[in-house]
Chains A and B, each alone.
Chain A
Amino acid sequence: MTDLTLDPARPATRNWSRIGLRWLLFSLLGLFALFYLMPLFVMITTSLKSLEEIRTGSLIAFPREVTFDAWRTAWSEACTGIQCEGLRPFFWNSVVIAVPAVAISTMLGAANGYVIAQWRFRGANLIFSLMLFGCFIPFQVVLLPMARMLGLMGLAGSIPGLIFVHVIYGIGFTTLFFRNFYVTIPQDLVKAAKVDGAGFFRIFWSIFLPLSLPIIVVTVIWQFTQIWNDFLFGVSFSQAGTQPVTVALNNIVNSTTGVKEYNVDMAAAIIAALPTLLVYAVAGKYFIRGLTAGSVKG
């Protein structure tokens, strides 16, 4: 904690300039808060307006008459290309993709991190470095071979195919999270447990997993937001019925047929964003920890 404020040093003018500075400080912070909140505000208010009101009214005006029609349309009627079933089926696609992909990649990451941090063997560090490196490649470099591989595996355009892709490219990060968490646990613990006759899995189940709740939460949140918000894999490896919600949202917004329904676009955007916003609202602390752990290692 830095014990520092921007107070001027001279005592005579201290009070007045202090008040002035505080005022300036809060106005600046407030202005920036407005900048960050504005898009959310505009999205919400626009989604509650009628098209007529959008055309005649102002961007930042509150709706004169609140209507939830746009939300209903976005959820169950809006057209994504030729299909007109709204976001609903795609929202569930995203759920069906994200839940197993998060679960599997987290479990693999826990096991890998446990091995790398606590059962060091020759080459373990090299393996870790190579896995870590895999996190940082631009995914464009694997899109083409992955498309062919999914075809060979019979998973092209399918939801299991997308789950598979997310698991594969999630392992690097989940392993990183668990490894960094498990290296802080003293190795003597493992040695003592071994003396008592516990084996590899026993030590993992009875000692490490019960300690792991905080890092499991961080990993699950990180993976969930990554997978839910993914667009590149979704748009590359899905087909008409299996697209995730981000792809469907983009199709709704950019479909060129008929009258442009901005209120429906905004409602659809909010629906697509709701799960991760909810995660952020409920577990913001862990969300931030995941963000920083994914960028600043150690």
Chain B
Amino acid sequence: MTGWLERHIPKMVLAPSFAAVLVFVYGFIIWTAWVSLTRSRLLPKYEIEGFIQYERLFNAPRWDTAMSNLFVFGTLFIVISMVLGLMLAILLDQKIRTEGVLRTIYLYPMALSLIVTGTAWKWIMNPGLGIEAMVRGWGFESFTFDWVINPDKAIYAVVIAGVWQASGFVMALFLAGLRGVDGEIIKAAQVDGIPAWRIYTAIIIPSMAPIFLSAFIVLAHLAIKSFDLVIALTGGGPGYATDLPATYMYTMAFSRGDIGQAASSAMVMMGVVFAIIVPYLYSELRAKHD
């Protein structure tokens, strides 16, 4: 008996957590998938009706806006954060005495809640009192910076705040990558008289491919889940100009009482995340086994 117990204790320790994950992650995903196929409104119904919710979803102009916003926001947010992060990392890599201080400054936004970030930038970009008023105060009377309240530009205001929040983190990833490059190869290249910029573009940056991938995954993941930032910065507005799938889902679930729509939009979000994450996790886990 004690032998049996002794052998099975590890599994028994792991079991509650695993059971919780099975129910609260996988079970819940199945529940949401199921409900997304029903006519559920305020309360869930469980008779499967087919893909009506998805048809409604793809015909809704608001969802259309949310998806194209996600595309615009996601692309700009990822590209700018990566370019900025890489640039800052290379600049910081030039043996600078104040590196520690600068790194701390670039990275601190990542410690903040997106609600705080949104609140701060909402104030800074407020046309009446923020940057616009400041520049006008300097004498440029016709200067306008009203992105945050302009339906055509508001999504770019979200990009600014998002990049401010996340680029320092990308910098930290890249800096760690730069420090991990084999110094011998670089010395050899220097001895051969290859200029520094060539060493970066031909040797160092290509060798950091896995870090680019990690940064991309994290940023894409952040972009798709973005919810707090939009809520705090624009509230999804003006109108629904800055809606993202995450805010659409929330509106349907908790203010419109349209559970079927909420579930189908959540499933589409999950599809997008998985299309990015699954190949990545698969290759990571495979690499570990070899």
Give me the interface of A with B, judged by CB distance under 8 Å: 1-9, 25-26, 28-29, 32-33, 35-40, 42-43, 46, 54-55, 58-60, 108, 111-112, 114-116, 119, 121, 124, 127, 129-134, 136-149, 168-169, 171-172, 175, 199-201, 225, 228-232, 235-236, 246, 249-250, 253-254, 262, 265-266, 268-269, 272-273, 276-277, 279-280, 284, 287-288, 291-292, 295-298
Counting contact residues on chain B (CB < 8 A from A), the size range is 35 or more
Main SS class of interface, A: helix
* 1/0 contact string of B218-246 vs chain A (CB within 8 Å): 10010011011001100100000000011
| A149 partner residues in chain B, CB cutoff 8 A | 24, 28
Given A144-B259, A246-B115, 18 extra CB contacts under 8 A: A1-B179, A4-B196, A4-B200, A33-B102, A33-B106, A43-B120, A112-B14, A115-B13, A134-B21, A140-B245, A140-B266, A141-B266, A144-B253, A144-B262, A146-B28, A236-B250, A291-B172, A292-B173
Pick from B105, B112, B168, B178: contact of A276, CB under 8 Å: B112
Whole-angstrom CA separation of A1 from B115 in the bound complex: 37
A4 x B263 contact (CB < 8 A)? no
| B190 partner residues in chain A, CB cutoff 8 A | 3-4
| B181 partner residues in chain A, CB cutoff 8 A | 2
| A119 partner residues in chain B, CB cutoff 8 A | 10
| A55 partner residues in chain B, CB cutoff 8 A | 129
Task: List the one stretch of B46-54, B71-79, B88-96 in contact with chain A.
Answer: B88-96
Closest CB-CB distance, A194 to chain B, in whole Å?
A: 10
A225 x B235 contact (CB < 8 A)? no
Q: B244-290: which residues lie under 8 A (CB-CB) from chain A?
A: 245-246, 249-250, 253-254, 259, 262-263, 265-267, 269-270, 273, 277, 281, 284-285, 288
A295 x B173 contact (CB < 8 A)? yes
B269 x A146 contact (CB < 8 A)? no
B17 x A6 contact (CB < 8 A)? no
Pick from B10, B88, B104, B266: contact of A143, CB under 8 Å: B266
By CB atoms of chain B within 10 A, which of A46, A140, A201, A280 has the most? A140
Across the A-B interface, give the 8 residue pairs with the lowest CB-CB distance, nearest first. A229-B113, A119-B10, A280-B111, A134-B25, A231-B228, A140-B266, A145-B31, A145-B28
Can you name 26 A-B residue pairings with CB atoms under 8 Å?
Answer: A5-B95, A26-B96, A33-B105, A36-B109, A40-B120, A59-B124, A115-B11, A121-B10, A124-B14, A129-B281, A131-B17, A138-B270, A142-B28, A143-B253, A144-B35, A145-B31, A146-B28, A168-B20, A172-B21, A199-B9, A231-B227, A236-B253, A246-B115, A273-B113, A276-B112, A298-B284
A225 x B196 contact (CB < 8 A)? no
With an 8 A cutoff between CB atoms, is B186 at the interface?
Answer: yes
Closest CB-CB distance, A172 to chain B, in whole Å?
A: 7
Whole-angstrom CA separation of A40 from B112 in the bound complex: 11
